[in-house]
Amino acid sequence: MKTPASIDAERLDGWSRELARFSDDPAPAVRRVLYTPTDLEGRAYVHGLAKDAGLSLRVDPIGNAFYRLEGTDPSLPAVATGSHLDAIPNAGRFDGTVGVLGGIAALESIARAGLKPKRAIEVIAFTSEEPTRFGIGCVGSRLLAGALTPDAVRALRDGEGRAFEAVRAEAGFSGALEEVVLKPGHFHAFVELHVEQGPVLEREKVAIGAVTAIAAPASYEITIRGEGGHAGGALMPTRRDALCGAADFVLAVERSAKRSATGDTVGTVGVCRVFPGAVNGIPNRVELTLDLRDTALEARDAAFAQIEAAIDTIRAERGLTVELRTLNADPPATADAGIVDAVERSAAALGLSSMRLPSRAYHDALFLARVAPMGMVFVPSAGGLSHRPDEHTDPEEVARGAEVLARTLLHLAEGDDA
């Protein structure tokens, strides 16, 4: 098999460092929120890298960018890779960006070796993988895969109450959202390169992770209402303190996740807003979020049933009203066996160790699995840290991941089977 050229780790890391300069948080933190000027500037920088690598560019109405290396047979569905460029507040420079920059480097290495595969290969920079602005993650890939309808996207509002469509238009993106949805068979396969965001590869001293499944994520908004009053005047036996009910709820989430039989269930209450927010005022309303995940849907559902039972107890024992709204409840995705095998063989050909493991974080690949055989390549995360300024993966590890990706993509682009 013809092989791609090697990837310069220092050069690829330079791309990453330069992209990190497009941030609304001071270094080393990174923040690029959907459709902000900083987000658009970061996108433009990456467009330039792709152009310099000899790739063509297409941008769809929601802002998903497709960087394409043409194949010899344009009648065949393309192979795709990619990830995201947006970053939550106080983030680092590796989450998502490794998959886009590494994907561009992978395609460049294929072209630099003089190789032209049978199928075209595309790198996708997905719009809004993070839920920062509109409360739901993977908006671009969900819409591409038909997991979110155009009407549902149009109904989204940000924290300031601004409609998604208004913000999209202001950012310069136009066209009907219906044009974003992929037709059946559009892609032959999809492989995403990503940092692990967990400690397993580093702990086991393994270079490459071949992902077997992506955890099922579910997100909820919870509103607990009680009765406010003066902190000195309302006696304890008669209080209906919404924050005390919220505390019970948070602990119930922790208990339910810890009791899971799989050991993979994780539950997180990441937002807690207390009203009226006065030091001498009894809280009359609390707004919370719940993120609940597992690679096994049954285990996630079992944990959620325990949480619902706890909500019933909070209502009955504390005299509070509790409202729960589902934002999303997505099923898990299983990686294609052929792609997992291709990742392992690509790593072995480069003399790299590899292991199979699940992804407990979810990614755009979760939704691309609905329209094409899917796989993922993981590289180590130092200390298992992510979504914080000190997340780190050594440049050599990133480059090795991109080289494994290049070989995997070339194999899929040359073969008839995923």
Tell me the per-residue pLDDT of 213-249, one tens digit each, with 9 for 90 and over: 999 889 999 999 999 999 999 999 999 999 999 999 9
Do 246 and 148 sit in the same domain of this protein? no
Residue 1 lies in a domain: no
Structural domain includes residue 3: no
Q: Are residues 185 and 243 in the same domain?
A: no
133 has pLDDT over 70: yes
Q: What is the pLDDT of residue 65?
A: 98
- pLDDT score, position 36: 98
- Structural domain range at position 271: 216-329
**How many domains are contained in the chain?**
2
pLDDT digits (tens, 9 = 90+) for 249-301: 999 999 999 999 888 899 999 999 999 999 999 999 999 999 999 989 999 99
Are 98 and 189 contained in the same domain?
Answer: yes
Which pLDDT belongs to residue 263?
86
Segment 113-134 mean pLDDT: 96
Q: Is residue 102 part of a domain?
A: yes
In a domain, 255, yes or no: yes
Any domain includes 398: yes
Domain of 186, CATH number, reads 3.40.630.10
In this structure, the answer to whether residues 253 and 133 fall within a common structural domain is: no
pLDDT given for residue 274 in this prediction = 98
Of the candidates 356, 353, 238, 256, the one whose C-alpha atom is nearest the C-alpha of residue 303 is: 256
Residue 4 belongs to some domain of the structure: no
Q: Which residues lie closer than 8 Å to 84 by C-beta, 6 or more apart? A: 96, 97, 99, 100, 125, 126, 127, 128, 129, 130, 140, 364
Is the pLDDT higher at 302 or at 264?
302
| Residue where a domain stops, chosen among 290, 311, 329 | 329
Please give the residue that has the higher pLDDT: either 90 or 262.
90
Last residue of a domain, one of 304, 329, 354: 329
Residues 384 and 280 in one domain: no
Distance set, CA 340 to CA 22, 132, 382 (Å): 34, 31, 23
pLDDT at 416 (0 to 100): 65
pLDDT tens, position by position, 339-378: 999 999 999 999 999 999 999 899 999 999 999 999 999 9
Question: Do residues 349 and 284 share a domain?
Answer: no
- Residues 190, 233, single domain; the answer is no
Question: What's the predicted TM-score (pTM) here?
Answer: 0.91
Asked if the model's pLDDT at residue 2 lies above 90, the reply is no
Task: Supply the CATH number for residue 258's domain.
Answer: 3.30.70.360
| CA distance linking residue 167 with residue 283, whole number of Å | 34
How much is the mean pLDDT over the chain? 96
Q: DSSP assignment of 260-291, as one string?
A: -SSS--EEE---EEEES--TTEE--EEEEEEE
For 306-324, the pLDDT digits (tens) are 999 999 999 999 999 999 9
Above pLDDT 70, what percent of the chain?
99
pLDDT surpassing 60 at residue 418 = no
**Rounded mean pLDDT, 105-110:** 98
pLDDT tens readout for residues 22-62: 999 999 999 999 999 999 999 999 999 999 999 999 999 99
Question: Given a cut of 90, is residue 83 above it in pLDDT?
Answer: yes
Q: What is the mean pLDDT of the segment spanning 89-97?
A: 98
Residue 123 — pLDDT band, cuts 50, 70, 90? very high
pLDDT of residue 417: 60
Shared-domain flag, residues 145 and 14: yes
Q: Could you say which of 329, 344, 376 is where a domain stops?
A: 329
Lookup result for tokens 């919220």? 246
Same domain, 409 and 268: no
| Amino acid 217: pLDDT | 87
Question: b vs e for 186-198, b when ≥16 Cβ sit within 10 Å of the residue's Cβ?
Answer: ebbbbbbbbbbbb
Question: What's the burial of 264, exposed, middle or buried (CB within 10 Å: 0-12/13-18/19+)?
Answer: middle
pLDDT at 1 (0 to 100): 60
Neighbours of 288 (CB within 10 A): 21
As a whole number of angstroms, the distance between CA 382 and CA 362 comes to 19
Same domain, 40 and 174: yes
177 and 296 fall within a common domain: no
Contact 358, 213 (CB under 8 A): yes
Q: Quick check: 379 pLDDT over 80? A: yes
Tell whether 163 and 267 lie within a shared domain.
no
Angstrom distance (rounded) from CA 194 to CA 95: 7
